[in-house]
Amino acid sequence: MPNPKRRHSQQRSAKRRTHYKATSATLTTDSTTGEIHVRHRAHVSEGKLFYKGKVVSEKAPAKA
């Protein structure tokens, strides 16, 4: 397999990594509870666990 003959510079590596950016989570408002939450994730509202606007669990999971 081909390998580089000489060491690549730090600048060359930095140029390659310029497109790696952290993205912020997309938030949405739940239609039934009206709470803002992260999309495609279950969220707790009034002690109930909701997902896609429906109650998944009556008792919310304990937070660690």
Confidence check: pLDDT of 61 > 70: no
Which band of pLDDT confidence, cut at 50, 70 and 90, is reported for residue 12? confident
Quote the pTM value.
0.56
**DSSP characters over 12-42:** HHHHHGGG----PPPEEE-TTT--EEETTS-
For the chain, the farthest-separated pair of C-alpha atoms sits apart, in whole angstroms, at 63
**pLDDT > 90 in the chain, percent:** 19
**Per the structure, how many domains does the chain have?**
1
Q: Is residue 52 part of a domain?
A: yes
Q: Is residue 57 part of a domain?
A: yes
Q: Is residue 29 part of a domain?
A: no
pLDDT, averaged across the chain: 86
Range of the domain at 54: 38-64
